[in-house]
Copies of this chain bind each other. A is one copy, B any other.
Amino acid sequence: MSIPLNPRTLAFQLLFFISYSVLLVTSRTLPSISIPDDSHSNSNSQVFIWPLPSNFTFGNQTLSINPDLSLAVSGNGGNSGFLADAFDRYRRIIFKHESKLRRNVNVAYDIEKISVVVHSDDQELKLGVDESYSLLLGKGNGYSIVGEVTIEANTVYGALRGMETFSQLCDFNYETKTVQVYKAPWYISDKPKFVYRGLMLDTSRHYLPIDVIKHVIESMSYAKLNVFHWHIIDEESFPLEVPTYPNLWKGAYTKWERYTVEDANEIVSYARARGINVMAEIDVPGHAESWGAGYPDLWPSPSCREPLDVSKNSTFDVISGILTDMRKIFPFGLFHLGGDEVNTDCWNYTPHVKQWLHDHNMTTKDAYQYFVLRAQELAISKGYTPVNWEETFNTFSDKLNPRTVVHNWLGPGVCPKAVAKGFKCIYSNQGVWYLDHLDIPWYEYYNADPVEGITDASKQELVLGGEVCMWSETVDASNVQQTIWPRAAAAAERLWSNPESTSVGNSTSTVLSRYQYFRCLLTRRGVQAAPATNFYARRAPTGPGSCYEQ
């Protein structure tokens, strides 16, 4: 998966690295809690990058950044519009206090240019895409190297991660009124621990306008999350347009609470520009009552509205049609088929379904398995790898298609069982990573371990990563960001960073101030991240105070 770094560039990096080696202090020794007003400066060795890079060194210089910072791109992937667009976004973030009125062209800045080298022109954003990057930031030393930032990556997506890191190094100094980087020179070599770092959003219990979904996706990129799992449809409403079955979105709450195909395309494109894949979900056969608003035949009967009618081929025709339409919108290789919380009781009470079960010599449990496997086959036939919630694995693991990705949620211990049987697994243990559980404090998110109970390295690799889940029974456009953040960031660092450098034991003494700093960074960027230290999530601050202490 990894393309070797260009030897010439490596030599350049080495030269750069050595030329500053006298200044370097090796890091990853995170000292005691910082005082807010004094942190993020040279006098403090806390590193305020979230999630923490896997390897980094820093010095003790303070460098100023020219607000007219120029971008130079090179490498096979360098002419991507992605990079120019991302640079524009980050310029607005980094230089938001810069006023054109104030700019003085006679001021000399230490850093005038950002050079981005991208080696591969392959822009496919597939699972496991190379997100590694290296970042060098230093002042010119009078020889060949002028003061600049260099980001080098194998893919544009790695370069995006590097730009995010660069933006977090930049700090507006209110006294000098310049953007500064403390503790330069920096050398960062970074890559994620897990390939799948997700956030699930439920747009069925409450409809979320497309601007809100985009805002969630934008905020995910700040924490280097890379999969937006869109739980589009559930029993309460069916907001998405499905061209092949145009009555399905009659299951929307109202005529305004809908997503067109173009809206969905726009969301995929917006996410991709931030290195984020969109994994769509249609949750079958349970959690699907809303489907019948447009096509009542999908209901076994008016009094048995879910699970969907297993006895009719037309049910699977609809699923096939949806998947065909989805394939045109969602290019990501994984597609989530749900499969959770299926209560099949009413199949038994519906005469024609009962008859069908009898004719096929099936119990309702058999029929549940039949339904899931048939939906899996349909997804595979469209080119998707199916993902299913863990109940499918728990109920008939031996029958499940071997390509299935098992999505844990009920509790700990499922991924060890799944990978033992050769399945890939995504970790979302509800006891620690369900965002709608408002009583889970941040350090429980932080201390979670997706590979807990798996010692064999080859089996650990089958754990793709994990995902925090935002079910929206009590979440709408007014409070979704507040419920997601900052706790999702605690999981994001667990999924990106080395466990060794983000040790669990001293999380409150060293991590808390970094976590609070990142929460405040989110609020500066317009994300409604709730106070970090309230026990219950999304609670209002209890009284006046600094963002950095609440």
Instruction: Please tell me if the beta carbons of A529 and B256 are within 8 angstroms of each other in the complex.
Output: no
Cross-interface CB contact of A482 among B472, B482, B520, cutoff 8 Å = B482
Contact with B along A155-178 (1 / 0, CB 8 A): 000000000000000011011010
Instruction: Please tell me if the beta carbons of B543 and A473 are within 8 angstroms of each other in the complex.
Output: yes
Cross-interface CB contact of A265 among B36, B99, B212, B542, cutoff 8 Å = B99
Min distance, Cβ A250 to any Cβ of chain B, angstroms = 10
Cross-interface CB contact of A541 among B215, B474, B528, cutoff 8 Å = B474
Compute how far the CA of A76 lies from the CA of B543 in the bound complex, rounded to whole angstroms.
Answer: 51
A residues 181-195 in Cβ contact with B at 8 Å? none
Instruction: Please tell me if the beta carbons of B212 and A526 are within 8 angstroms of each other in the complex.
Output: yes
Cross-interface CB contact of A548 among B241, B254, B524, B546, cutoff 8 Å = B254
Contact with B along A222-252 (1 / 0, CB 8 A): 0000000000000011000100000001000
Given A206-B547, A546-B253, verify A540-B258 contact (CB < 8 Å). no
Compute how far the CA of A206 lies from the CA of B550 in the bound complex, rounded to whole angstroms.
Answer: 10
Cross-interface CB contact of A479 among B174, B477, B482, cutoff 8 Å = B482
Interface residue? A263 (CB, 8 A): yes
A residues 448-485 in Cβ contact with B at 8 Å? 472-479, 481-482
Closest to A523 in B: B477
Min distance, Cβ A520 to any Cβ of chain B, angstroms = 7
Per the CB 8 Å criterion, the residue count for chain A at the interface is 66
Cross-interface CB contact of A546 among B175, B254, B528, cutoff 8 Å = B254
Min distance, Cβ A385 to any Cβ of chain B, angstroms = 27
Compute how far the CA of A544 lies from the CA of B473 in the bound complex, rounded to whole angstroms.
Answer: 5
Closest to A519 in B: B478
Instruction: Please tell me if the beta carbons of B206 and A541 are within 8 angstroms of each other in the complex.
Output: yes
Cross-interface CB contact of A37 among B255, B263, B481, cutoff 8 Å = B255
Given A253-B545, A540-B475, verify A215-B526 contact (CB < 8 Å). yes
A171 proximity list for chain B (CB < 8 A): 256
Instruction: Please tell me if the beta carbons of A255 and B174 are within 8 angstroms of each other in the complex.
Output: yes
Instruction: Please tell me if the beta carbons of B475 and A524 are within 8 angstroms of each other in the complex.
Output: no
Min distance, Cβ A315 to any Cβ of chain B, angstroms = 24
Interface residue? A101 (CB, 8 A): yes
Instruction: Please tell me if the beta carbons of A526 and B260 are within 8 angstroms of each other in the complex.
Output: no
Q: In this complex, which of A263, A479, A548 has the most chain B Cβ atoms within 10 angstroms of its Cβ? A: A479
Closest to A175 in B: B255
Interface residue? A266 (CB, 8 A): yes
Min distance, Cβ A378 to any Cβ of chain B, angstroms = 27
Compute how far the CA of A192 lies from the CA of B258 in the bound complex, rounded to whole angstroms.
Answer: 34
